[in-house]
Structure formats: structure tokens, C-alpha cells
A = this chain, B = another copy of it.
Amino acid sequence: MKDLNIGMIGYGFMGRAHTNAYKRVNDFFDLEYRPVLKAACARNAGPAQEFADNWGYESIETDWRQLLQRDDIDAVDICVPNNLHKEISIAAAEAGKMILCEKPISMNTAEGEEMCEAVERAGVPNMVWYNYRRIPAVTHARNIIASGKLGRIFHYRANFLQDWTIAEDLPQGGNGLWRLDVDAAGSGVTGDLLAHCIDTAIWLNGAISNVTAMTETFVKERVHSDTGNVQPVGIDDACAFLCHFDNGSLGLFESTRYARGHKALYTFEINGENGSLKWDLHDLNRLEYFDYEDDSPVRGWRSIHISDGDHPYLGNWWVPGLCLGYEHSFVHQVADFLLGLANGKPAGPTFRDALETQKVCDAVLESAKSKAWVDV
């Protein structure tokens, strides 16, 4: 087995989720490569060391440039706010490191394009953490669609509904709340949540041609969590858009952090001539499937409990009926990345793939501003 030395930049929610995946993947998947937790990097030594101790990183760095200079680092994992993705990625590519970058790829398409060019010029393996592709039910949906079972596609709809920012006294910015700070995040729900919906949609249903969108910021001012100053809110609290896909189907997307009762309800549905599929993240082990070829009197939506050995990734885990959870999507993504290293077929989404999602996000935000249809 070959070691793949990981340098982790950041130690937040995603830093934990990715690290957990690196630690678990070889227990369940038979692979040529084995991730080694070589170094954890964060601006301040205190949190960096605490994170390293907790998860078992062998060393720490407090400057990512330093990390990139280390010969014992094969790959860097970028888990810092979006406004840092570009600079680190380009430097990492130039240093010849593989890159696993948290989504969205960048603050905007222009940045993303630079990043793609950098990794392609350097020829380094690269991937963006659109982890939901690897929820087994989602992968299974992709396989069914790719088989042609659904026939011509007419409709695709997705939403990602949360309710955690309704309170007006929730602060914004600072360490744990950079997702609410437009300077760090680039946008609100569009980049944070809709980007997931868009990545999955493109993967399942192909490219998006054009969009008309609206955004809303329900709470106009918030206290900054560090300074205590009241500042305008720059992000979109909610975003919805209509679109056409290149295959002629219609799309409907919505995301918000103001849908009371929904914690992280990511759902999608696709309707084809001969069948349909539905999924939602709150019940992620189920895939709903309608097959028009069933005999008419016994036709109905099938609730497939995705826990059998012949479902994607499931043969590596337990026995039928026993559920996987959220974190397994990251384990699967690492497994596929490592497999891609071994067999030379890079696992997606690459930076280039993720740029397509970024282009749609940009078009959505532009349409919301211009109040016109925008081509992607």
C-alpha cells in the first residue's frame, strides 16, 4: 500500500469531515493508497495543535505557504473560507501538490478559471468536495439515469432548505460564521447550498443553458461576531431560479435559510418519459423510484432502502437494512479519489467540473440583479 501524505488547511466542520474520511477509508475499502495525516495547518498554533492532537495529525503548520514547501506532503486539502481557495490552490498547483478543495471552487467564475488553468498546467490531480454525489442513493440515481431507464427527461427540481438564520440577533462573520460574511463566502445560500444542488443536477441531467433568478435578504443588518458592530448583510438569505437544461428539460431550484422546520433538507426529483426519481438528505438511505413499465394496477413509487450489497458502495459496509449516514459520502469520495490515482481515471468533480457549477451560480446571481434571463 502506498502512503498519500495529507496536509489539511483549516480545522472547521469540513476539516473534521474530511479527516474522518481519510482515517476510515482503508478499513472499508481495498485500495492501493492510504491517506496519512501528515500535517494540519491553521493560522494560529493553538487551534492547529488541538485539532492535530484530536485527530492524529503528525505535525502542524501555521502558514500554508510553509506547508506547500514540505516534501513530505503529497496532497493538500483546502477547508478554509472561499475567498482563500484561489490563492492557495494556485500556489499548491505550482508546488506540485494534489489538491482536494472544499466547494464552491471559488468566489466566482473568473477565479475558478484561473484555478483550473493552474492545476491543468501543473498536471496535478484535483477534486472539489461536492460530497453529495457519493451518498449511495444519489450515485444509484445517477446509475439509473445513465442506464436510460427514465427516457427523455422533462423536469428536474431541487431545493436545499434550512432554517438556522431566522433569528435577527444571530451575528455574522468571524470564525464560525464566515458563511454569513459576503467577503469571505462570496454569496449566501447560492454558493453554500444551491451549489450542491447544481453540481448534482449537472451530474444527473447535464448542463444548464440559462436561468432567471431572484434572491432575497430577509434580515438587512446584523452584528459582526468579532467587532460587535452592526453591519449590512451582504449575502443572499434565499435564492430561487428557473432554468432550461441543454437536454430540453425544465429546472426549478430553491434554497433558503428561512424555511422553518427544515434543518438541511436537500431534495431533488427528476421526471422522465418512463420513470422518475426522488431523494432527500433527511432520509438519505432511501431512493424513491417510479417505473412506468410496472403493470398499471400495481404501479407506484418504490421506496428503495439503499442498504443492499448491490447498491453503490454498500458492499463495503454492513448488511442489508442497516443505514449509513452523512459522513460516509466523504469516505466514498476519498475512496474514489484514491482509486482514480491508482487507475489513472480521475474521480470527479475535478476543478474543471466544479467550474461549471460556478458558472451557473454566477449566472443566477447576475439574473437576480438584472432581473433578466441570463445565459450560462
Name A residues whose Cβ lies closer than 8 Å to a Cβ of B. 13, 17, 20, 23-24, 27, 54-56, 140, 144, 150, 154-155, 157, 161-164, 166, 212-214, 216, 218, 238, 240-242, 244, 248, 250, 252, 254, 256, 258-265, 271-276, 281-287, 289-292, 294, 296-305, 307-308, 310-311, 318-328, 371-373
The smallest C-beta distance from A352 to any residue of chain B, in angstroms, reads: 28
24 contacts between A and B (CB under 8 A): A13-B319, A23-B23, A154-B260, A155-B259, A161-B271, A162-B321, A166-B273, A212-B371, A252-B254, A258-B271, A260-B274, A260-B292, A261-B276, A263-B319, A263-B321, A264-B321, A281-B321, A282-B285, A287-B300, A297-B310, A298-B304, A301-B302, A303-B303, A324-B326
Contacts of A273 in B (CB 8 A): 166, 260
Is A298 in contact with B13, judged by CB distance below 8 angstroms?
A: no
Among candidates B20, B291, B305, B371, residue contacting A27 with C-beta atoms closer than 8 Å: B20
- CB nearest neighbor in B for A26: B54
Among candidates B265, B291, B300, B372, residue contacting A304 with C-beta atoms closer than 8 Å: B300
- CB nearest neighbor in B for A166: B273
The smallest C-beta distance from A372 to any residue of chain B, in angstroms, reads: 7
A244 with B214, Cβ < 8 A, contacts A320-B164, A320-B263 known: yes
Q: How far is the CA of A284 from the CA of B55 in the complex (A)?
A: 27
Contacts of A274 in B (CB 8 A): 260
Q: How far is the CA of A375 from the CA of B164 in the complex (A)?
A: 32
The smallest C-beta distance from A42 to any residue of chain B, in angstroms, reads: 18
Is A261 in contact with B301, judged by CB distance below 8 angstroms?
A: yes
Among candidates B250, B256, B325, residue contacting A238 with C-beta atoms closer than 8 Å: B250
Among candidates B164, B264, B283, residue contacting A322 with C-beta atoms closer than 8 Å: B264
Q: How far is the CA of A262 from the CA of B300 in the complex (A)?
A: 9
Among candidates B24, B261, B287, residue contacting A275 with C-beta atoms closer than 8 Å: B261
